[in-house]
Amino acid sequence: MHRITRIAFASAVTLSAGTGVAIADEASKPYENHKLVEVMVTLPSQLSSLDSIGESLHCRPSVGWQTYAVDPGNLDELDALGLQYQVVLDNVQAIVDAETQQRMAARAQAGADFFSDYRTIGEINDYLDQIVADFPTLASKFEVGQSLEGRTVYGLKIAKLDLIDPDGDEASRPGFVINGCQHAREWISPASVMYLADQLVNGYGSDSQITEYLDELVFYIVPVVNPDGYNYTFPTNQGGAGQRLWRKNRRNNGNGTFGVDLNRNWSTAWGQPGSSSSPSSETYRGTGPFSEPESTNLSNFMLSLPNVKAHLDIHSFSQLILGPWAYSEDFCPPREEELRLAQSLQEDAMDSVYGTNYEAGLGCDALLYVASGTAPDWSFDELDALSWTYELRDTGQFGFTLPPDQIVPTGQETVAGVLSLADFLLTPLIIEADTLPALADADTPVPVGISVTAVNNEQFATGSATVSYRTSPGDDFTTLGLGGIGGTGDLSTDLPGQPCGTQIELFFSAQTTSGQTVTLPEDGQAAPFVIDITNLTTILEDNFDGDLGWTVGAPDDDATSGIWERVNPNGTSAQPGDALFGPICYVTGQHPGGGDGANDIDNGKTTLFSPVLDLSAAGDGAVQIRYWRWYSNSTGASPNADVFQIDISDDAGATWVNVETVGPDGPETSGGWFQHSFDPATLVDLTDSVQMRFVASDEGAGSLVEAAVDGFVVRSTGCEDAPCAADTTGDGSVDLADLNLVLGNFGQTTPDGDTNGDGQVDLADLNTVLGAFGAACP
């Protein structure tokens, strides 16, 4: 993190040269000659001493490299602490001036566009009024209360207001609270919250998703919780004090220090580790819970609302989605499964906009150090509202001084996350397909199955889960129940086997006890899933429980640790704790215990090679290769700097073609098992010398990188000239001899009677023979 910060501020200073735009009052330069200093903190107790010396530029100061803005007169005190440090920039004011010049240039170029620049508190309040004037049936303005210095904190209620009960009773609609700017210097927070408000009102009637949400939900949007601190950060010619990096409110603490961290002032876990009792600290929690009018007013406002179901507290920076509990890493919160489902949807939505990598986790996942007395912990604890902190762009390149050209893209990512959570709030059940093959073997029963999770205080109606299928587009759907006795247990079934070349269309459904029906896919029979029926012949199926010829090591491999090995993995925050298909899989170095970075990939790359495969008899387009992979590169000192590369060769490794590259950022780089399948004929010739390789690397400094592979399957597919697998004797017909061969070897590991090549003679083989009984095989 400290190296990233150093590059960032150097870039910011470079931007100031030659812009020709006047900065704010030249006489007001509060950071003139302040030093940007990186300090190695080795004990938590050292943080309080550093707070009295300089201004922390990290979201949650902790052990490790920390960045401070230090008055040159305090360098002797820093020396006296005996800590390792380095001055990386001689004048912090240069950063502030560069940002101001960028902002003024952006205003001049973009004219009146509200989102061309970061706006003052007055401009924000004026824009709230403009939204209400332009959209009176969608938005109304409300007062949250008065700040310490007497500024009114305003918000917008956004919904299809004429659909709400005329008496103002909103209890029948889920309420969704989004607030910004508890911390004054995090300018992208109120900018993104305002962008959200703008998109909601402008999207009604033209965006079907937004229209549905405003018809069904009530949004309560408070852009600036801390108007005094926010105003204090602006240049003097915009009504502020030029204190760009100020974090807290403007409480006079009576000892020469100012400010309380509003996001340590809420009552849940107030005073616990993760906040400070020192008034000079950036995380000073105040004299008691809700000692500050800003936190008190917002909490009272939220308590006055009839039906708050979700709350987002918008911050910057780090690109994180943080669920409860912020105050503890030791235990996970109630409703854990529901929280994880919802935050996964938000993470995927935000990542999908521009490929920016947001990482989601609960407090027990330890993505950041603990923080006590936070707003989302309070709303989850007090209101039972699904609650998260968003830490928006970036990961440290610009930090709090994110350029104004990042307002709109960051706002778009924020909107995507908010809308995904809005959708979740209107969903009583989450249905996920656990078993849904893209291809299925001809004349063989097809297993399908789902899992159902009730959310938003709904209950799953036992016995209501079904699958509906048809084998011809014009036919009616046939419905089968899922589950054991009473519809409980495993929600799965087998669909009847079908002839080669046909398709099965299907969808799932389930109900709540209140009678609401949810389908998967969402549009049900109008857009069903499709399973293609073909003849599947297994060429290789390897779950790595035995040695089937995989090899490790390329001539140019240079990793010094984290070398591929076939083991029962020991889990870490970056490495899987379990294989998918048995106890064994390939991972990049067995974890020996200790820190998560022990035996991860370091200082280069490591390569895993498949056996050489003979695909020459399959024919073009008649092979499917499928594997499950795990990859994590999103933690450590240089996150999202490395890639996991998967390649294929048709000449036993003489030349390679890329199948996919995972990373350096984007989805699927934070652990988790993901399946990938492809048709090799689209990339290489199907020769007798096909081979695959999996290359994982750590080329960056200090990254924590792990990879894993499991469930590798190669199958030939197709209906034309396909071998008649049911003809186990090879005599040209499926008859009693084939049935006797299967029955005679039933339960054995032998190729005799093994119709699908999985190594076992079992029920699948018996069904294949029975399904084709009496057929002639060319």
CB 710 within 8 A of CB 673: yes
Q: Give pLDDT, residue 520.
A: 95
Strand partners, 696: 606, 644
Q: Give pLDDT, residue 140.
A: 96
The answer to whether the bond into 270 is cis (omega within 30° of 0) is no
Strand partners, 630: 673, 708
Q: Give pLDDT, residue 610.
A: 97
Tokens of 656: 């390679």
Please provide residue 249's backbone torsions phi and psi, each rounded to the nearest 5 degrees.
Answer: -80, -165
CB 768 within 8 A of CB 760: no
Q: Give pLDDT, residue 720.
A: 59
Please name which of 120, 99, 118 lies closest in space to residue 110, comparing C-alpha atoms. 118
Point out the catalytic residue in the list 294, 391, 413, 505: 391
**Residues 6+ away with beta carbon under 8 Å from 384:** none
**152: number of Cβ within 10 Å:** 13
Q: List average pLDDT for each run of 10 residues in the chain, which is 778 residues long.
A: 30 30 50 86 81 76 80 85 86 85 78 88 97 96 98 97 69 93 98 98 96 96 98 94 94 95 98 92 95 98 95 94 93 90 92 88 83 97 97 89 93 97 94 89 93 90 94 93 64 93 95 94 94 90 94 95 94 86 93 80 95 83 88 80 95 96 85 90 94 92 86 86 71 88 88 76 83 76
Strand partners, 559: none
Q: Determine the Cα–Cα distance for residues 370 and 366; give it in Å rounded to an integer.
A: 8
Kindly list the distances between the CA atom of residue 337 and the CA atoms of 333, 492, 673, in Å, as whole numbers in the listed order.
Answer: 9, 21, 18
Tokens of 677: 């399948």
Q: Give pLDDT, residue 95.
A: 82
Tokens of 362: 């609960």
**Residue matched to tokens 């700017």:** 181
Put simply, whether the predicted model's pTM sits higher than 0.85 gets the answer no
Please name which of 214, 213, 246, 252 lies closest in space to residue 231, comparing C-alpha atoms. 246
CB 656 within 8 A of CB 693: yes
Residue 391 annotated to the active site: yes
DSSP reduced 3-state for 437: coil
Start-to-end Cα distance in the chain: 66
**Which own/partner contact pairs does 252-260 have at CB distance under 8 Å and 24+ positions apart?**
253/279, 253/284, 255/279, 257/284, 259/229, 259/284, 260/284, 260/285, 260/286, 260/291, 260/292
Q: How does DSSP classify residue 460? A: B
* CA neighbours closer than 13 Å in the CB half-sphere of residue 127: 23
